[in-house]
Amino acid sequence: MTVTPLFLSGNEALALGAHEAGVRVASAYPGTPSTEILENLACYPGVYTEWAPNEKVALEVALGAAVAGVRALATMKHVGLNVAADPLFTAAYTGGRAGLVVVVADDPEMHSSQNEQDSRNYALAAKVPMLEPSDPAEAKEFLKTAFAIAEEFDTPVLVRSSTRIAHVKGLVTPAPAPAPPAVSPGLERRPDKYVMLPIHARTRRLELERRMASLKQFAEAFLENRIEWGDRRLGFITSGVSYLYVKEAFPEASVLKLGLVHPLPESLIGAFAAEVERLVVVEELDPILETQIRAMGIRAAGKEIIPARGELAPQIVRVAVTGTPIRPPFEPLALPPRPPNMCPGCPHRGVFYALSRLKLFVSGDIGCYTLGALPPLAAMDSCVCMGASISMAHGMDKALGDEALGKVVAVIGDSTFLHSGITGLLDIVYNKGCSTVIILDNRITAMTGHQANPASGRTLAGDEAPAVDLEALCRAIGVPHVVTVDPHDHRRAMAVIQEEVARPAPSVIIARAPCALLPEVRRQRKPAFRVDVERCQGCRLCLGLGCPAISWQALTPDEATALGLREKQPGHSRISAIRCAGCGQCQVICQFEAIELATAEQS
């Protein structure tokens, strides 16, 4: 039977690979660039998929499913693996009855991340095997291979993707039918294997060493660790997307392509190195391969010429190896700068406008609201990782004592609060802090593309689900003062924030309004606002919102006079009827009543 190839992204191919591998349970927390894996896997029959509150929970759900005898998958971005590291390290001891695979997507260049990390470090530290595909076709096949390795060696297997692989498209040939279950579902009582008391863990630690020794032998014969002989004057050792860069930059060279990047096939590497005159290791981010190869006593060039930060590219590799500058494939076009900004109608804008006016120190968090750090709002002073806003504000409170009262506020989104903010709030209550936390509740995980979360009232499959009552939750953990405000009403929001930050007790402000891009909100589009030019005094206060719908029209003295304005008025604001979402935040702050609802004709 002829099978027609599909044109899939890496994330779509990973989802297809999971389906063909017979995955029955998959859990994840959305995070760019990994999000679409689960969204696509949810479309296949016979697999249970869910958004978990965070990556640790996602991995633990997958581990439980594997212990119950079904193939299970957890997906996350690189910083999510930090959150999931705790169960990962012990899952390496227990293994599972059926295959357990974790896909982790790195983000070199930090297209949508707060740091660069090389997840291969986790494979070494946790002592688990890791596969690294180079394109969507390999991504699908490697995921199936990962399950086979997981079951053969009774170990979790990591599959490393990256932004380029996750989002690039390529031809992928689907298999005629998914694989049958490898083991039978069921519960098997094995406390010596699954109860990691020290007496059991010590035994499993020895098993871990035996497993790694077996995996090293496996790596030597693994067909995806392959040599492609060419000109032996120059040889490369590489993996992942870097392999494609090497092939494009040096198509004539010899290449050892590693599909299994941990553990390494040391004998194969030694044999390859002995046959080439000059050896170069090309890998994105950390010198993981290079360090181990040099530790084998093999001379190789690496990070002294290949950049250790950001994404690589064929021209970067070629220049690094030859030392000869090359002309870029095309000259960059001169485009007007367009800084990232919150959307028109975004409810977060009203809160950050209020915070900017109050000049508080804002301990911020990870989400689309992090854009509040940029001008003109410039209302965020720290942002480290998911959930850190609350804990850091508490730390400032304890460091400064009464000096912090009325000066510091934590800001966090609803999804991020449920991900890892609850424990920080518990800490404030338990340790008698007095910080104020603003939860920006827009009813969805907006930044990664509107994924549902436990407060959204629906599941990944779109089914109705219990929605967390954030007010009741905060009160239940001991917060004595919980207030809900409409963030579009910035005057009310500002008054509440002033009152709560001055309170010598823990408090939570829930700023609730739905994301302006939710389909149900867009369908109920509100009338647009307009500027009455005759009333506009040119004060530019509305421009301080940073709303993309509001712009400035400069005027010459003659133009101002012709419009009936003061000769010295430098210009007036204007509102795009197409971009305006009708939130009314600009009308609230205008001191001259120059902003009003547009008539249907004016819109």
| pLDDT tens figures, 206-219 | 999 999 999 999 99
Q: Which amino acid is at 438?
A: I
Gap between the Cα atoms of 501 and 405, Å rounded: 7
β-pairing, 507-512 with 529-531? unpaired
Helix, coil or strand: residue 215: helix
Provide the token pair at 210: 């035996």
Q: Taking residues 467-496, what's their average pLDDT?
A: 96
Res 603 pLDDT > 70? no
Gap between the Cα atoms of 364 and 344, Å rounded: 21
The residue with greater pLDDT, 14 or 330, is 14
Predicted confidence band of residue 180 (pLDDT cuts 50, 70, 90): confident
Q: Taking residues 108-123, what's their average pLDDT?
A: 95
Q: Which residues pair with 530 in a beta bridge?
A: 596
Please list, in sequence order, all residues whose beta carbon lies within 8 angstroms of the beta carbon of residue 441, skipping any fewer than 6 positions away.
413, 414, 455, 470, 510, 511, 512, 513
- Distance set, CA 182 to CA 16, 178, 214, 507 (Å): 18, 12, 21, 52
Gap between the Cα atoms of 260 and 129, Å rounded: 7
Which pLDDT score, from 0 to 100, does residue 2 have? 77
| pLDDT tens figures, 248-307 | 999 999 999 999 999 999 999 999 999 999 999 999 999 999 999 999 999 999 999 999
The residue with greater pLDDT, 224 or 525, is 224
Gap between the Cα atoms of 379 and 370, Å rounded: 9
Q: Taking residues 114-131, what's their average pLDDT?
A: 97
Provide the token pair at 472: 């009741």
Q: Which residues pair with 48 in a beta bridge?
A: 25
Contact yes or no for 119/92 (Cβ under 8 A): no
CA angle 49, 261, 68 (to 5 degrees): 35
Predicted confidence band of residue 177 (pLDDT cuts 50, 70, 90): confident
Closest Cα to residue 552, out of 535, 526, 531?
A: 531
Strand ranges inside 154-216, DSSP E: 157-162, 169-172
Provide the token pair at 459: 């599941």
Q: Taking residues 112-132, what's their average pLDDT?
A: 97
Which pLDDT score, from 0 to 100, does residue 1 have? 66
Gap between the Cα atoms of 283 and 118, Å rounded: 10
Q: State the CB neighbour count (10 A cutoff) for residue 579.
A: 15
Mean of all residue pLDDT scores within the chain: 95
Which pLDDT score, from 0 to 100, does residue 179 have? 77
| pLDDT tens figures, 521-555 | 998 888 999 999 999 999 999 999 999 999 999 99
Please list, in sequence order, all residues whose beta carbon lies within 8 angstroms of the beta carbon of residue 537, skipping any fewer than 6 positions away.
569, 592, 594
Predicted confidence band of residue 310 (pLDDT cuts 50, 70, 90): very high
Gap between the Cα atoms of 451 and 460, Å rounded: 7
Region of 428 (left: φ > 0; alpha: ψ -120 to 50; beta: rest) is: alpha
Count Cα neighbours of 36 within 13 Å in the Cβ-side half-sphere: 16
* Phi, psi (degrees; rounded to nearest 5) at 397: -60, -45
Which pLDDT score, from 0 to 100, does residue 162 have? 97
CA angle 234, 236, 240 (to 5 degrees): 155
DSSP letters, 387-421, are THHHHHHHHHHHHHGGGGTTTEEEEEEHHHIIIII
Cα-trace Rg, the chain: 28
Please list, in sequence order, all residues whose beta carbon lies within 8 angstroms of the beta carbon of residue 214, skipping any fewer than 6 positions away.
153
Predicted confidence band of residue 602 (pLDDT cuts 50, 70, 90): low
* Phi, psi (degrees; rounded to nearest 5) at 271: -65, -40
What percent of the chain has pLDDT above 90? 92
Helix, coil or strand: residue 256: strand
| pLDDT tens figures, 394-431 | 999 999 999 999 999 999 999 999 999 999 999 999 99
Region of 327 (left: φ > 0; alpha: ψ -120 to 50; beta: rest) is: beta
Gap between the Cα atoms of 145 and 148, Å rounded: 5
Closest Cα to residue 129, out of 214, 206, 38?
A: 214
Which pLDDT score, from 0 to 100, does residue 576 have? 95
Q: How far apart are the first and last CA of the chain?
A: 57
Q: State the CB neighbour count (10 A cutoff) for residue 334.
A: 5
| pLDDT tens figures, 125-176 | 999 999 999 999 999 999 999 999 999 999 999 999 999 999 999 999 999 8
8-state DSSP, 455: T
Gap between the Cα atoms of 350 and 57, Å rounded: 33
- Length in residues, the chain: 603
Gap between the Cα atoms of 462 and 465, Å rounded: 9
